[in-house]
Amino acid sequence: MKRFFKIAIVLLVFLFLAGAGTGAALWYLWSSNLPYIGSLEEYTPPIITEIYSDDGQVIGRFWDEKRIVVPLERIPKHLIQAFIAAEDSRFFEHEGVDFASIFRAFIKNLMAGKIEQGGSTITQQVTKSLLLKNPEKTYRRKVREAILSLQIEKNFSKERILFLYLNQIYLGHGAYGVEAAARTYFGKSAMELNLAESALLAGLPQAPSRYSLILHFDRAKARQRYVLQRMREEGYITEEQEKEALAQEIQVRHVQDTPFKKAPYFTEYVRQYLERTYGRDRLYRGGLKVYTTLNLEMQAAARRAIEKGTLELDKREGYRGPLRHLAPGEVEAFNRSVAEKLESRPPAVGDVLEGVVQEVDREKKRVIVRVGNRTGVIALKDMKWARKPNPKVAYYNVVVKDPGKVLKVRDVVLVRIKEEGASVYESQFNRAIQSRRQPGSAFKPIIYAAALDKGMNPSTVILDAPYVSSLDPGKDVWRPKNYKEKFFGPTLFRTALIKSRNVITVKILKKIGISYTINYARRMGIESRLSPDLSLALGSSGVSLKELTRAYAVFANGGKLVEPIFIEKVLDRNGQILEENHPTFREAIPESTAYVMTDILRAVVQEGTGWRVKALKRPAAGKTGTTNDLRDAWFMGFTPSLVTGVWVGYDDRTPMGKGETGSRAASPIWLYFMSDVLKDRPVEEFSFPEGGSIVIAKIDAKTGLLAGPYSRKTVFQAFKAGTEPQTYSPPPKAAKSGQFSQFDMETSP
């Protein structure tokens, strides 16, 4: 018996030593090559990049992890207590690892035969998130996690650990850290959260999806009850405070903070620049602060003007039938496609979307339309737009009594949201910058400015008569025509631009030279390819709205070309300036030329195709532009302080309705915008050049000579000093006999 006892003791000692040796070996192996905890000294997690307007409002955010790092002082005490009570009540007592909790978890996992519970402390969660990013649930990882947690507690204060934890933890719906979560769920900063809201957030770490405030509020509420109970048990709150928090009504807002909200195209342009310049990782994870030149009030005014102007255009054109009619098998795919687009950019009231007719209810006189995953109703009273075009008149109204005569099931139509809705999916194609469209007559001022610097003046007379040419040898002859296909005989240079005479512009271009004109356009900021032929006079070469607006700014800026600035400065996450931009100017054309052109373009508004802009009732200059097939309509204009360009057209280059010229389709939008943004500004006059480079002369509107006793119509016109007329207009008979300067162009077969 004694011998057996001795053998048993020896065996137990052997097993203990073997186990201890094995444990020591495993401990050594598992604790080797641990991550460096010193990296926690400088906490630089992925954080949000923010884009600001010129007045400091956020217009866009970009992130991989939606996180806003805030110091512990900007987190309310009750929010910190809520997380401690729910996640690690002994946080201030243990040294990184709560062995009692681990033992309980070990027993539970042993009984279950698998790892179900971790018993992690807040320190261990920090370790797991920042140092051990492998999510596997193994005993090796738990040992490494424990070792690192003990090291962290020895090297960092409890406050530092809480700072790391509350900024790093994932709290659902893309929100990392309590600040981002507070803004996502409640639309406020963490510092503004009340006890009830804090308890809801503190209930999320265990399972953010299961306790989602958005998708499963009942579960989140139950979890909140648990958090408040734990806070009371730990002495953080009273029973009365617990009851008040439980009874408090919670407003969960789910703020979908997308970068395409206030200024989608502008923000996307800035995003592309930042990605090219700083790389994707820095853009989405580096927490850049980007200050732009965007004026949100002007942006909103531009949207209102476009919506009003395009709606008026749409009404003039009348209802043109559905965009298309889907086959039965195409409906599901169409709805799914629209729904996917709307996920990232939810629509808002006033937005226009594509929808498919789901039902035509003739009894209730309404149409049910499905837009992605949403369903809306079009009442009969809202179908007044459903007119049928009449080829004999521009448009007319038809009273709609039966919606079934207008729409059919599976018709794809454009609908406008009247009530509720969550911004429209907008094409990422930036029409102001990326699109190249024919400017038509809006290009003419560049040619006329070039002609002024080539020796012509506003009184030069050109014969408006048929002109025949060939763009290329061996091709058909080309016969440019004026808009109304009429010719007006001897015409002043200024009148030709004011009335937008095509044939005269062709003759001017031929006289001054195509190469010279293209080079001149380059000096004024036109970068697009320009066709080296006479069709350039009619604006046949596509340009962007941005570069044409930039060219008109040369006139407004006294001949100086301004480099457009979208970004004023970019700061890194530490507030260091990465780049800073200021306006730069260079002389593109003589100041005197710019002023003479401004004077003529003012006359375009007062006497010519830009007449609608007179309603602005302040000094303004500009030019309309229309392509012969009515696919593009432009109005480019400026006041002494602001240059604005407007283009109207269809992306697929479908012709607009009859008479939809730059004057009718584009200039009203320009007028709406400028009236809005200038309404509170004082009226300004265009600056007159100093140094005697400009002379104002009263001339005969027909002959271009100095106004005399025989002049019937006179105008005041600016001239470059030395180019003004020196003689008075003769009697009518003498004028008819050609006693004033003019030139004509030979026809070339």
Write out the catalytic residue numbers. Answer: 87, 441
State the Cα–Cα distance between residues 716 and 694, nearest whole angstrom.
13
Helix extents (H) in 131-174: 139-155, 158-168
Helix (H/G/I), strand (E/B), else coil: 239: helix
Residues 6+ apart with CB under 8 A from 32: none
By C-alpha distance, which of 354, 356, 355 is closest to 327? 356
Separation between Cα atoms, residue 156 and residue 41, nearest integer Å: 8
User: What are the structure tokens assigned to 201, written together?
Assistant: 């957030």
Contact 632, 647 (CB under 8 A): yes
**Given CA atoms 694, 698, 700, 701 in this order, what sign does their dihedral have?**
positive
Tokens of 377: 């109703």
Amino acid identity of 260? Answer: F
Contacts (Cβ under 8 Å, ≥6 apart) of 238: 232
Rounded CA gap, 132 and 365, in Å? 63
**Residue 284 to residue 275: CA distance in whole angstroms:** 9
**Max intra-chain CA distance, the chain:** 151
3-class secondary structure per residue, 382-429: HCCCCCCCCCCCCCCCCCCCCHHHCCCCCEEEEEECCCCCCCCCCCCC
Distance CA 398, CA 417 (A): 23
Please report which residue ranges of 32-95 form alpha helices under DSSP H. 77-87
Residue 441 carries which DSSP code? G
DSSP string, 555-608: HHTTTEEE---SEEEEE-TTS-EEEE----EEE-S-HHHHHHHHHHHHHHHHHS
Chain center to CA of 584: 24
What Cα–Cα distance (Å) separates residue 587 from each residue in 218, 513, 562, 565, 581? Answer: 67, 22, 9, 18, 19
Q: Residue written as tokens 């207008």?
A: 406
User: In whole angstroms, how large is the CA radius of gyration of the chain?
Assistant: 37
75 vs 193: CA distance, rounded Å: 9
Integer Cα distance of 533 and 536 in angstroms = 6
Phi, psi of 491 (to 5 degrees): -135, 140
The closest of 636, 718, 632 to 674, measured between CA atoms, is 636
Nearest to 310 by CA among 431, 445, 444, 434: 431
